């Protein structure tokens, strides 16, 4: 499989290289040159497979030529073997024909484990073969950091540096990162905000001299392997609900558009998906596009759903590429317009094409809490606030009551106690058994000034299993 850039000016890469690449050299994002397509018979024959075996069938075409089948099978069995629920991604029914796909049974209790547990193992496999070591740098406001550290903690060939804003992530989220101890794991608390952390990662990618030749790898959601891993659970859910003979609709709590883009790919690979709902919080750039063809940068509002607090959605460029007939130069032009003016609209027929599949809703904090309370009262299920936004949007945007509506349950409620309290649900969710002693574990973290040179010196001094590069 070959991968091409959405801006059309970077060399095509194979899977192995795309795994190690961040942005393409032309500033675009990598996408498969040709998407595999499965027949209905083929998809139907996968019903009842264990999750890792379904994962093998769905993802195999993407890694062909880079990873032999037997090795890939083993990696997938190891990856999904760490999930706490034997079904890996169980479905729970909320209402007539309404379901939550629980994606929070991985080590860090959010859906990001599906991709980052795999990414860590793939990186280590490829790097061992090449006899190479890499450094990962990432910024997190919460979920990504812990999932990336959990995914990479066992990697022999990776040193991972995760920056979070000092005193600005919840205690559960901080401890999920800082209690994972290892020579190759480095938590940095920056005396600044999330944007400061992200800027330092960007600046480090732009100028890598401080790494003395060691390769820098990205684990944010632009990494193709993360999208690839998320395609699988759309097939998994549909197969449980009568697919592919029957179509299914999905409502997806959305920030950077990575998770829902995977659903769009599943549909293009042959899975009958009748509707995809973009569920956002008050940071609603995608809702403004879907409802009014305006993709314009707004202000950033802090909400009760911090994992969806974004101003621009990096993966949206991948959808735009398809909407523009996969014409790289027109995407490059749109992105230039966006950079210069802060917004754009697309031609009418392209927007109409998107709207055949996508609907959207922006949900306020108040509505989020209402939904948590409502669902709890009606079913006894406690939703995390991100999932609650998905449920709300699924209910309001639903096109058909006879098509199963699957809401992606993106996180466990225990990660977001503030929203649960505000919902006046009189219940404090308990940590699952494997995290029960989280508050007693030792923490390791270095507080650094909000200064690029300081951070880069730290990375250079510790980037080789804690020793200098
Ligand atoms: C990351 C995250 C999201 C947003 O996913 P995107 O792929 O960025 O759209 C939603 N909910 C939770 C809990 C998350 O951690």
Among residues of the chain, what percentage have pLDDT more than 70? Answer: 100
| DSSP string for residues in 333-387 | HHHHHHHHHSEE---HHHHHHHHHHEEEEE--HHHHHHHHHHHHHHHSPPPPHHH
Atom of ligand 1 at shortest range from CA of 143:
15
Is 140 close to ligand 1, i.e. is its CB under 6 Å away?
no
pLDDT at 143 over 80: yes
pLDDT at 428: 81
> Tell me: the pLDDT tens digits for 392-423?
999 999 999 999 999 999 999 998 988 998 99
Q: Is the CB–ligand 1 distance for residue 411 below 6 Å? A: yes
pLDDT value at residue 105: 97
pLDDT band of 270, cuts 50, 70, 90:
very high
Cα(77)–Cα(445) distance, integer angstroms:
32
Distance 301 CA to ligand 1 centre (A): 16
Residue with tokens 């066992």: 154
Residue 197 has pLDDT above 80, yes or no: yes
Residue 206 is predicted with a pLDDT of 87
CA distance linking residue 436 with residue 364, whole number of Å: 32
List the residue whose alpha carbon is closest to atom 14 of ligand 1: 307
| Ligand 1 center–CA 406 separation, angstroms | 16
Please give the pLDDT value at position 68: 97
State how far the Cα of 317 lies from the Cα of 138, in Å rounded to an integer: 21
Alpha-carbon distance of 345 to 342, in angstroms, equals 11
Q: Which residues are catalytic?
A: 112
pLDDT band at 80, cuts 50/70/90?
Answer: very high
The pLDDT of residue 231 is: 98
Residue nearest to atom 8 of ligand 1 (CA): 256
Using a 6 Å cutoff on CB, does residue 410 contact ligand 1?
Answer: yes
pLDDT value for 429 = 83
pLDDT of residue 367: 98
Alpha-carbon 393 to chain mean position: 19
Distance CA 334, CA 233 (A): 32
**Banded pLDDT at 439 (limits 50, 70, 90):** very high
Please say if the pLDDT value at position 212 is more than 80. yes
Query: Confidence class of residue 221 from pLDDT cuts 50, 70 and 90?
Result: confident
Report the pLDDT averaged over residues 193-218: 91
Identify the band that residue 269 occupies on the pLDDT scale cut at 50, 70 and 90. very high
Ligand 1 atom showing the smallest separation from residue 147 Cα:
15
pLDDT at 142 over 80: no
Return the pLDDT at 91: 98
Q: How far is CA 296 from the centre of its chain?
A: 22
Closest-lying ligand 1 atom to the alpha carbon of residue 257 = 9
Is the Cβ atom of 309 under 6 angstroms away from ligand 1?
A: no
Report the phi/psi class of residue 33: left, alpha or beta, with left for phi > 0 and alpha for psi in -120 to 50.
alpha
- State whether the beta carbon of 112 lies less than 6 angstroms from ligand 1: yes
Atom of ligand 1 lying closest to residue 142 CA: 15
Task: Please report the pLDDT score of residue 220 as a whole number.
Answer: 85
pTM of this prediction exceeds 0.85: yes
pLDDT at 75: 98
Task: With a cut of 90, say whether residue 195 has pLDDT above it.
Answer: no
Q: Is 258 in the pocket of ligand 1 (CB under 6 A)?
A: yes
For residue 387, the CA-to-ligand 1 centroid distance in Å is: 10
d(CA 80, CA 189): 30
DSSP, res 429: P
**278: part of which helix (H) or strand (E)?**
strand 273-280
Domains belonging to the chain, first-starting first, are 85-109+224-422 (3.40.50.1100)
Of 260, 243, 261, 262, the closest CA to residue 252 belongs to: 260
How close is the Cα of 141 to the center of ligand 1, in Å?
Answer: 11
Helix axes 385-397, 365-379, angle to 10 degrees: 90
Upper half-sphere CA count for residue 377 (Cβ side, 13 Å): 9
Assess contact for 447 and 189: CB atoms under 8 A. yes
Q: How far apart are the CA of 254 and the centre of ligand 1, in A? A: 6
C-beta of 328 in contact with ligand 1 (< 6 A): no
The conformational region for residue 242 under phi > 0 = left, psi -120 to 50 = alpha, else beta, is left
Both tokens of 466, joined, read 């804690």
List of residues 6+ apart from 93 with CB closer than 8 A: 99
What is the rounded CA–CA span in Å between residue 328 and residue 15?
20
Choose one of 29, 101, 105, 111 to mutate for the ligand 1 pocket test, by most ligand atoms within 8 angstroms of C-beta. Answer: 111
In short, whether 257's Cβ falls inside 6 Å of ligand 1 is yes
Residue 415 Cβ inside 6 Å of ligand 1? The answer reads no
Per-residue pLDDT band at 61 (split at 50, 70, 90): very high
Contact 282, 432 (CB under 8 A): no
Q: Which atom of ligand 1 is nearest to the CA of 256?
A: 8
Distance CA 167, CA 72 (A): 40
The Å distance, Cα 175 to ligand 1 centre, comes to 19
Cα–Cα distance for residue pair 368/357, rounded to 1 Å: 24
Q: What is the mean pLDDT of the chain?
A: 95
Ligand 1 in reach of 386 Cβ (< 6 A): yes
Scanning the structure block, which residue is given the tokens 């290289």? 17
Chain Cα centroid distance, residue 392: 21
Mean pLDDT value of segment 369-374: 97
């Amino acid at each position: 499989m070959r991968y091409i850039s959405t801006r059309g000016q970077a060399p095509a890469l194979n899977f192995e290289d795309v795994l190690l690449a961040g942005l393409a050299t032309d500033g675009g994002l990598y996408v498969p040159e040709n998407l595999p397509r499965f027949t209905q018979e083929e998809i139907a024959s996968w019903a009842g497979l264990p999750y890792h075996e379904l994962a093998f069938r769905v993802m195999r075409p993407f890694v062909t030529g880079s990873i032999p089948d037997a090795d890939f099978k083993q990696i997938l069995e190891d990856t999904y073997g760490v999930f706490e629920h034997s079904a890996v991604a169980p479905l729970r029914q909320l209402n007539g024909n309404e379901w939550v796909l629980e994606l929070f049974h991985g080590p860090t209790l959010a859906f990001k484990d599906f991709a980052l547990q795999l990414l860590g193992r793939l990186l280590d496999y490829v790097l061992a073969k090449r006899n190479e070591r890499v450094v990962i740098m990432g910024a997190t406001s919460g979920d990504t950091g812990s999932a990336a550290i959990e995914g990479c903690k066992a990697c022999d060939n990776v040193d991972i540096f995760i920056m979070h804003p000092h005193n600005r992530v919840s205690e559960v989220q901080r401890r999920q990162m800082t209690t994972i101890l290892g020579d190759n794991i480095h938590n940095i608390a920056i005396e600044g905000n999330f944007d400061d952390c992200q800027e330092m990662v960007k600046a480090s990618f732009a100028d890598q001299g401080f790494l003395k030749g060691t390769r820098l790898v990205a684990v944010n959601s632009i990494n193709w392997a993360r999208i690839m891993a998320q395609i699988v659970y759309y097939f998994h859910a549909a197969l449980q609900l009568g697919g592919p003979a029957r179509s299914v609709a999905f409502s997806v709590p959305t920030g950077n558009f990575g998770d829902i883009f995977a659903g769009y790919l599943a549909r293009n690979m042959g899975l009958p998906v009748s509707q995809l709902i973009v569920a956002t919080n008050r940071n609603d750039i995608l809702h403004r596009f879907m409802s009014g063809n305006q993709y314009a940068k707004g202000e950033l509002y802090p909400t009760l759903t911090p994992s969806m607090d974004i101003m621009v959605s990096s993966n949206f460029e991948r959808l735009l590429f398809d909407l523009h007939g996969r014409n790289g130069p027109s995407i490059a032009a749109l992105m230039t317009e966006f950079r210069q003016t802060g917004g754009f609209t697309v031609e009418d027929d392209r927007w109409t094409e998107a709207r055949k599949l996508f609907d959207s809703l922006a949900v306020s904090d108040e509505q989020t809490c209402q939904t948590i309370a409502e669902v709890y009262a009606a079913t006894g299920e406690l939703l995390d606030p991100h999932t609650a936004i998905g449920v709300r949007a699924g209910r309001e945007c639903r096109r058909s009551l006879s098509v199963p509506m699957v809401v992606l349950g993106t996180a466990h409620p225990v990660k977001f106690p503030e929203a649960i309290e505000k919902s006046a649900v009189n219940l404090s969710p308990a940590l699952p058994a494997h995290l029960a002693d989280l508050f007693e574990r030792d923490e390791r973290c270095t507080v650094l000034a909000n200064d690029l040179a300081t951070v880069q010196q730290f990375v250079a001094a510790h980037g080789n299993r804690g020793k200098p590069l």
